[in-house]
Each structure stands twice: as structure tokens, then as C-alpha cells.
Structure 1
Amino acid sequence: MLDEPRTTEGTTPETTPAPRGDAPRTIRLHETDNVAIVVNAFGLPAGTVFPDGLVLQEFVPQGHKVALRDIQEGAEIRRYGEVIGTALRAIPRGGWVEESRVHTPIAPDLDQLPLATRVPAPLPPLDGYTFEGYRNPDGSVGTRNILAISTSVQCVAGTLEVAIRRIKKELLPHFPNVDDVIGLTHAYGCGVAINAPQAVIPIRTLQSLAQNPNFGGEVMVVGLGCEKLVSERLLPDGQSDGVVRLQDERHEGFGMMLDSIMAMAEARLAVLNTRQRETCPAADLVVGLQCGGSDAFSGVTANPALGFAADLLVRAGATVMFSEVTEVRDAIHLLTPRAETEAVARALVREMAWYDDYLAQGGADRSANPSPGNKKGGLNNIVEKALGSVAKSGTSAIRGVLAPGERVRQKGLIFAATPASDFVCGTLQLASGITLQVFSTGRGTPYGLAEAPVIKVATRTELSQRWSDLIDLDAGKIATGEVTIEETGWELFRLILDVASGRKKPWSDHWGLYNDLTLFNPAPIT
């Protein structure tokens, strides 16, 4: 096991000199940047004087950008060392670089991208780190021991909800090694164009969800009997049983339907109850990275810390997924050079192009992101948001690309294509096989998953303190220079191992605070 550094130089973003009390402070990320963000909670008023002589010309909210020099109309506005827009009118030094003053640049041309031209050298291996997980017959390892009951159609969701209440009350106490019983419910299965080309996405997602490592391979499906999505399609290859159909003639009334569900559940609970945690190498982890309720600090504090932890996981041999196509698209020129091969780079381009077309068909474009809350948190446009979002990916080579709902089958850093919606992204990452998720947030969101533990990381200390019983780790101290990105990344890495082992429980699990699964269905509804 390598020694974990307590301090590391050179990782804290460039800030104004350390203040006393709540003295004014900004963060500038790159030497070519002509803007910086205000660190102080609740912003700073006009007339505020910084140690370097900068004077605010107007009130600037926390996380919003201030011009470090005069920016002429039409001139580039730079953050992260990249162009995030051009000035729609002149902005004086000390002026607020507000959304209405910034023109969004065009997205990178997908036909002109560098492909695998700057492949990072492998980082030194990180040996000796382990967690206590549940090993499955197929070799995968779960962080939870859950009976998940799939549904083939939304029509049976209410019935399954009643059955699960009875299972938890009458059966689960007899199987103490099983963590929970959940339903994989959704609004699909009938009234849909089941043979449309893009129907492959929701169907593949449901098939993959049932085989998440946290479910121990005990697949069970509740169906109606007349739906378009035949229940057997959700069973793994070679499995011939595991379906309860409510329309079967043997069911005389609702009570018998519930009895059938409970009998099949009991048999599977008995198998899951034999599972025990065992020591597994960190290489057996499959960790998803996501952000929601992002702000201007996301790319300064939490996401770089997630990226550092991602590098540690990759060094330990684990699988790490980052996602959210629309929050990658405008920074894709930074990712295709990092692809391990040209084939991987072209797969990245493929997923960007597919989503460009998907948005165009819906009469939308990338300007639909960011959200009003993101903008209130200081993000002017999708370019700035994307540059902060991709910081989650760390510095490792990108080894693979997954289409929506595909199961992961390799180690290392993987891009799993998903929409940016928190709930859809979470559902698709679960289908791809994550057994734990790390979720960064600046504005705050009470997000959680019943299927896998979620560690929530705050971008700002103010949010972490205000939501002290929802946030699991405060990355905001990076902005004030109290800790480095490396120190926070190591803290997150250790927390991942503890949560995966069941030694620590994230707040969402403490409260039982879980979001519904949300399928991505780009196919027509009939």
C-alpha cells in the first residue's frame, strides 16, 4: 500500500492572498484567463477592493465572474484557459461578466478533432487497497445485497408495490443478510414502438439493470401478459424461469397474484441470504461519477477532487464511468486526444454526433443546458459548464465508450453515454454496472439511488454546512485554500472504500431518500 500524502503542493487554484475573516477573494484557474470567480458567500458589493488593486464596478454574486482586465466588445472571455464566449458589449475591469453580456461560441467541429494524439502514460499502480464486497458467480462484485424485482410494463407497478410492502414486512426479517427488496419499475413496455430502431435503448437498459452486481444474479420479473415487451426478454441468457405473469389463468384474484410474487421472491431471498461480504481488491469496484445542481465552483473544487479520486481508482485497477453527453460535448476536444486508441476516440465522436442529431430532431440544441439554477450559480453557458464537468474524468487515458444502457466489460476510465438529467443518467449508469456513485453538487439536490450507495460531494462549504445531513463530503475548502485537491481526492477515495464495504452509510441511505428510475426512450410512443 502506498503512503497517502497529507499535503501536496501546486494543486490549489490560483487565488487572491489568503484573507483574514471574510476579506474579498477570487479564484483564477489559468494564467491566460481574463476572468475570475468570487469566492465569498453571498457575493461582494460594488466598490470592493481586492489585495491586487482590483475594484468591483458593481455587485457580483458568489461564484460569478469578474473581469480582471478591460474586455472589449467581441473579445474572447477565457476561463479554464479556454474560450467560454465573447463579449456582447464592453466589460470594464472589475465588471460583472453576467450571462446577458456573453455570446456562446459554436461547439467543436466533430470532423476536426484530434484523435488519440495525446494519450496519457499509465499512472503508477496503486496496490494494496481493498473493500468488503459481495462476490457474484460471474466474478463481478457488489457493494450491496439486494433483491431487485424487474417489471416488464408499467401496468404492474402498483401490484409490485403492494407485494414489496408485504415482502419487507413478512419475509425480509427472516433473511438478515439481505439489505433490501426493491422494484425496478418504469413507464415502458406497452404503448410503445417496440421494434423502432431506438427502442434498443430502453430495452437494453432494462435487461442490463436486472444484472447489476448489487443484485447477486437473482433476476425476477413481474409482467402482465399482454404487453409488447415480453417478460422473458428481461431474463439473462439461459435462464428459463423467473417470471410471474398476472394474467396467468391460475391467478384467481389479486391475493393469488401477490402469493405468486412472494413465493418467487422468497426462493431468491434464500439464495441471496447466503452471500457474505469478503475482502476484494479495489480493482473490483465499478464507480459512477455524476454532477447535478452544478455551479461555477463545480469545476474548481468538487469535480477536480472527483477526477483525482478517479485517477486513484484507475491506478488501483477499478472501473470508473463518467457520462452526460451534453455536458461533455463542448469540451470533447479535450477528451478525444486522451482516448487510448483512435477507435475509442471515434466512439466518443459517434456518441456526440448521435446526440446532436437527437436534439435536432426534437427542435432543441445545446442552449437548453444549463438550467436556471446553474446560471444563478455562476455558469454562463454550456461551454463553461462542460469545461467544469469533464474535470470529473481526471487525467487517465479513456479506455472505452458505452452506448446508453450497455454493460461495462473492461477496467479503467470509461465514458458511458447518457443524457445530463440526473435521474436518467443515474438509471443508465446503473444499467452499465456501477455499484456505487459519487455525485457532486453546488446548488444542492436531495438525490439518491435505492440500487447503489451515492456519496454526495458539495462544491461549497456554505452548502455543506447548510445541508449537513445530506452532504457526505465538503470540497468547498479547496476554494478557501484550507485543503488541496489531492487531499480531498484521497479523502474521497477512502470514503468510497468505506461506503462500498458497508462501514459507512451515506446520508441518502440513512434517510432512505431515493429517486425513481427514469428510462431514456428516444423511440416513438404509439
Structure 2
Amino acid sequence: MDLIHIHPADNVALCRAQLPAGSLLNWRGSMLELVSDVPAMHKVAVQPITAGEPVCKYGQPIGTASCDIAAGEHVHVHNMNADRQRADYAFCSEAQPTELFAESERATFQGFRRSGGRVGTRNYLAVVSTVNCSVTVSRAVAAHFHNGSLLRDYPNIDGVVALGHDSGCGMSSADEGYRTLMRTLHGYICHPNFAGVLLIGLGCESMQVGHLLREYGLETGPQFQTLTIQREGGTRAAIEAGIERLAEMLPAANACEREPLPASELTLAVQCGGSDAYSGITANSALGAAADLLVRHGGTVIYSETPEIYGAEHLFTRRAATPDVAQQLIDRIHWWENYTQINGVTLNNNPSPGNKAGGLTTIAEKSLGAQAKGGTTALQAFYLYAEPVRRKGLVFMDSPGFDPVSVTGQIASGANVVCFTTGRGSAFGAKPVPSIKLASNSQLYQRMREDMDVDCGGILEGEYTVAERGEFIFQRILAIASGERSASELLAYGDNEFAPWRIGAVI
């Protein structure tokens, strides 16, 4: 089969291989002649499309023809506009109650039970910077423990990670950016994948250590310590003090052991990056099936990347559990329209060069494929970036589409495992949470075998169904949450992906 026709209402189909003009393709019992060269995974018109007429894929408009397009013609940026189509939000019209598995049928995994009932999938120690000025000290403290021999006597500790960023000062303590950064730092300090945390500040920054503690009622103790460089007497003294305090946390952290826990304690962050035209019909759809399974086992799924649902937000409002959840999502879409406008960009101008090379033309097309990774269950709640997620089931957390920033927010909100789909080959990991990489096509899986955990390309070949690959992904989630290393962990990704969202002016 040369063409993939996704929905009966579509006036385009995908070419499975690069084909030259003049090629004859079997289309609904007759022959369709290509009138132009068509790259692999790109769209070809299966019927004439007049200028201004919607181009449809997934049964939805993804833009309009910028000129008359003949049947058999390549459809892409040269003859298509990213015009935004008016959608019917139909709040809650398709929300259905989730049928949970019986308690006796629910899956389990091996995790770490923390104080207050929190559950982790890894057992790290963290050195967290409040401000860019303390990053050098934080990294030096963590680097001291990267010598394998220092942790040899503590086999239950996964490592020490330094979380540094480029903000924390030059900002108003009353603006949205400050509050966002504070939520993010708090979410990491309290994350159940950490058995101990050392918080390091400079001493004169906007994001004061003391303010952060008071805002959230945090109290220091044996496994949560703080220091400031100025009070310790400078860089060298702060590094020595940090090493000493972290070393004191090692025995208690090593005493933590995995135990059987219900899958309902898993909070899955779903992400996509470096998408191609197959992502929406293979990896994202299979991840959506796995997400549905986790929800039915009582777990939580965090969907994010607000700019990358633009053009598909009506599919989420229809699945919203309440009108208030739907309205919060739409209000944030309007916030993004204003936010991008005042910064001189538009939400329509989203697909990256790699996305376009992979056959994606408009943000609506990308969004319609991306939303599949959220599965089919009702949308239970909406959260701002890095707000703690308290509802079970599918929830939405606002974030940019930039993967490190988005995942940072999801982890701060409580995600303890990440699934990341890619069609072009994103390189990604996010300590302290394991990231599972899903390839949308088998060529990518074979080409970057060491970077990928799951091949979803066999869906195109009929080797397995979306549901079968979803079950496979769900089992991989349980295994990796239980301690099996993901590909990105084996490659030591995750030290450079802590990227809190910077909102507002730097002053």
C-alpha cells in the first residue's frame, strides 16, 4: 500500500515512500498519477482542492489551499496556508466516565514509599540552585559524588544530580515569572524521586532561600538542608560545606528500598518532540492507548505543551469533565495568543524545520497528531505550570512546547515517569525521572537503536495494533518505574534538561 488515508473525510493521504512525478498509485480501485515529486511521509492530494478550500487530515481541517491543487499533487508549505479554522468547542459533549479495573486486577510496580504517602520511581539526591549565581557551587558539590567509588557503599542511591538554571534574580518578586519559578523549585525540592535535597542560594538574589521556605512551610531536617554562598564565606567554603551536608544524607538515602506499590501511584508525563507525519498514527496513538490503561489502573497522566494543541483544543474541551475545566483551557489558549503576539510571534508559526521535513505543514496538523498521546479518557483538571497535580486520571498542565521546559514543569507537578515520542530522533532525558523514548517509525528505531526504548513503526506494517503496542508500552512503564534503566538513562541524559519556564521581563 503506497498511501495512508487516515480518515474517510480527508482529501489528502500520506506517501509511505519517496515517489517521483508520474508514479501510478492504487487509490480506491483506480490509479492515481502523481503530478509532482512527493517525499516520504508527505501529503498528496487524493482529489482536486480549490484555492481557499480546507485541507483535511484526521477528519479535521489543518489549513487551506493557497492555490488550486490537482489530484496527485504534493501538498505542503508551497501550496497551503496555516489558516485557523473556527471550531465548535462543545464543552463536555464527549466526556465519558472512566471504567476502572477492579482492585484485584490492578497492576503493581516496585517503587519507593516516601513520607506523606508520596511514591518515587528513583532514589536520587539533589543539589538545587535558587539562582544562576549558585549553579557553579551546586555542580561542584554534585560532581564530588560522581566518582563511582564514593557511592560504592550506597548501592540503593541512583546518583546525585545538580539542578541549575539561568534565573532567580533580575526579576520582580510580584510577577508571574517569579511565582512560576518558585512553584518549580518547590516541586523539585519535594519530588518523591529524591531521598535528600540540598538547596543552595547566593544570599542577595530575588529568589531568597528563606522566602521559598516560608512560602511553602518547608522545614529543614536531616534530609533537607540549605546554605547560602555569602553566609558560608565564599565559593570554596560553600562547596566544602555542601559536600559535608550531602554526605550526611547518604546513609538514610541508601536505607530506602523498593516495595510493591499499585500502578495508581504512577504519574505519567506524556511528551512528543521531533515529530513526523507518522507520529500521530503510530507512537502518539500507542502512547494514548497506554495512557488510557494507566488511567483505568487508577493512575494519572499529565498532558502539556499548550501551543501544540492549538487547532486541536476543541478535542480536549469536548472531553472535559466539567465546563470549568474546558473554560480554563480556552482562557489559557487566549493567554498564549496574547503572549506570543506581544513577543512578535504567532502560535501558527510552530512546526520546526525538522517537523516540516517530516511532512508536517501547520500547527493544526501537528496538534491533531500530538493530541493522540493523551488517550481518550475525560480531562479531569487543568493546572498552571508546575502546580502540584492532585487529581487522578488525565489532566492538563500548561507549558510551552519546548520539550525541556515542558517536562521540567511536569516533573515539578509530580510526574515520576516520562514517555517521549519522536519521529525525527530527539535526544532527551530528565533526571530524576526516567524517560522512555518511543520511535514513530522503524527506520528511526534502527538508526538510533541505543537512544530508543520502543519501536512503534510496526503499526504501519500490521505487525501489531495500536492497542497491542499500547499494552506493550504500559508494561515497559511498569518495568522502568520499577528500576529497569531506560535508554536515555543508560546514555546518562538528564543533567542538562532542568529548564524552568522564564516568563516576563528581565530587569
TM-score (norm 1): 0.91
Question: 1:88 is matched with which residue?
Answer: 66
Instruction: State whether structure 2 residue 106 is matched by structure 1 residue 152.
Output: no
Instruction: State whether structure 2 residue 200 is matched by structure 1 residue 200.
Output: no
Deviations 1:253-292 (A, max 9, x none): 6443222101211222222111100000110101100000
Matches within 5 A, 1:14-25: 16=1, 25=2
Question: 1:27 is matched with which residue?
Answer: 4
Matches within 5 A, 1:384-463: 384-463=365-444
Instruction: State whether structure 2 residue 153 is matched by structure 1 residue 174.
Output: yes
Question: 1:368 is matched with which residue?
Answer: 349
Question: 2:93 is matched with which residue?
Answer: 117
Question: 1:21 is matched with which residue?
Answer: none
SS of the residue corresponding to residue 106 of structure 1 reads coil
Question: 1:482 is matched with which residue?
Answer: 463
Q: Distance in 2 between matches of 1:34 and 1:334?
A: 20
Deviations 1:441-485 (A, max 9, x none): 011111111221111001111111111111111111112222210
**One-letter amino acid matched to 1:39:** R
SS of the residue corresponding to residue 193 of structure 1 reads coil
Q: Distance in 1 between matches of 2:227 and 2:306?
A: 37
Question: 1:188 is matched with which residue?
Answer: 167
Q: Distance in 2 between matches of 1:61 and 1:481?
A: 22
Note if contact 1:140-1:213 (Cα within 8 Å) is conserved in structure 2.
yes
Unaligned runs of 5+ in 1: 1-15, 17-24
Note if contact 1:107-1:329 (Cα within 8 Å) is conserved in structure 2.
no
Deviation of the 1:179 alpha carbon: 0.5
Question: 2:83 is matched with which residue?
Answer: 105
Instruction: State whether structure 2 residue 45 is matched by structure 1 residue 45.
Output: no
Matches within 5 A, 1:57-456: 57-106=35-84, 108=86, 113-125=89-101, 127-169=105-147, 171-216=150-195, 218-235=196-213, 236-240=216-220, 242-248=225-231, 251=233, 254-456=235-437
Deviation of the 1:393 alpha carbon: 0.8
Question: 1:513 is matched with which residue?
Answer: 493
Q: Distance in 2 between matches of 1:203 and 1:381?
A: 34
**One-letter amino acid matched to 1:391:** A
Note if contact 2:380-2:393 (Cα within 8 Å) is conserved in structure 1.
yes
Note if contact 2:61-2:85 (Cα within 8 Å) is conserved in structure 1.
no
User: Runs of 4 or more off by more than 6 Å in structure 1?
Assistant: none
Deviation of the 1:437 alpha carbon: 0.3
Percentage of pairs with the same residue: 37
Q: Distance in 2 between matches of 1:106 and 1:351?
A: 17
Note if contact 2:100-2:297 (Cα within 8 Å) is conserved in structure 1.
no
**One-letter amino acid matched to 1:506:** S
Deviation of the 1:113 alpha carbon: 2.6
Match of 1:56 among 13, 31, 34: 34
Deviations 1:486-521 (A, max 9, x none): 11101100000000001x321111110234311111
SS of the residue corresponding to residue 444 of structure 1 reads coil
SS of the residue corresponding to residue 239 of structure 1 reads coil
Give the CA RMSD over aligned residues: 1.6
Unaligned runs of 5+ in 2: none
**One-letter amino acid matched to 1:102:** M
TM-score (norm 2): 0.94
**One-letter amino acid matched to 1:245:** T
Note if contact 1:232-1:243 (Cα within 8 Å) is conserved in structure 2.
no
Match of 1:464 among 442, 445, 460: 445
